Homo-oligomer: A and B are copies of this chain.
């Protein structure tokens, strides 16, 4: 099935913005099997056509833009859930399967896949971008949860990164190809299957909201909760601006202050203990009483508010566009970087509510701007770079989970240093000597 690119949905970007506008491919193909993907890749390889893998297009760093034209491989027609192994806690999925689709498929098994980047992304796409999200503090990121990948290389070769059909929980057999492709953002190959670790659905879950007098108090609570060994499932920070936006967008009435959204998973008894320990810690740090969400519906409402952060931010300034940037630092540096970042936003008259996976030291600024105001767009761009450099200066990374894509290539160089970049370039050249796989991204 081959169609012209006019039919592929494409998120339009503000003109002249620092990350490029739509960049449609020349052709879109919808292969239905790995054999078709391989055959199409061979054609592209022969004719030196760029190959752009496309899952759901929910990435945030411009990873699916066809900056050099070429062929977009939309993999949504390969959408089978294969081989659920209940006793072994694993499943294999094709690239058209999204995380929500998988979890509804698994509903009757007592198992679930917890990695949750917010968007209903495809799981192979999540592997490609090394996605994580709110549950990573407890369950890890894609890096820890992918057991095997089927990959089509630039020349059409099909490989299985852990060997065909293998799905052990651990292995020390040869180089870790799986984790070389996880996070490679489509620049090393097309992921056509991923085998994932699953988890038992917790017996019970409870969520809560807690307000703090300062960013420091919220982060101190987080560190102490982790030190106490509480196996917290989610611990999300929202700054006052973000909470204000959520209140407006979702008709809520949380106090406008630094806030933690918390979630606990476990048995009824263990929840009780987790909550008691956490409440003691937050109280010692002058946190408010917990605002509870116990039943599934109330919890759903709470997390919808968190997941709607993007739309809530956009609604602050109707007609504007948004760009969400993310950085990650060691936990102890979070208060400093968040406080400095908030000062920077005020100083530069920018709207950038902050929300983050504070248990991992990772946070986002959702930059809301008028795309027609070139001055503001420039100020956002400069702010984004300052934020990344602030993270780099604090032993951090310029991207905790969004990836490098198009916009952060220069920052990646600063982060890794020239020799490590040279190694990455060497790996890229080995696996894709013609530079056809998603060219212009990452490196």
Contact = CB atoms under 8 A, between A and B. Distances in A.
Interface stretch (A7-15, A239-247, A379-387, A410-418): A410-418
Nearest to A266: B229
Interface stretch (A136-144, A248-256, A317-325, A370-378): A136-144
Interface of A: 85, 87-90, 110, 129-132, 136, 140-141, 143-144, 153, 157-177, 179-180, 182-184, 188, 199-200, 202-203, 223, 226-229, 231, 266-267, 269-270, 273, 277, 328-332, 360-362, 392, 395-404, 408, 412, 415-417, 419-421, 423-424, 426-431, 442-443
A58 to B, nearest CB: 14
A92 to B, nearest CB: 11
A424 B177 contact: yes
B229 A166 contact: no
Nearest to A129: B172
Nearest to A333: B88
Instruction: Kindly name the residue among A136, A166, A172, A398 whose own CB sees the greatest number of chain B CB atoms within 10 A.
Output: A172
Given A88-B332, A176-B183, A229-B200, A423 B431 contact: yes
A177 B361 contact: no
Nearest to A178: B179
Could you tell me the dominant secondary structure of chain A's interface residues? loop
A273 to B, nearest CB: 5
A271 to B, nearest CB: 11
Contacts of A90: 330
A114 B110 CA distance: 29
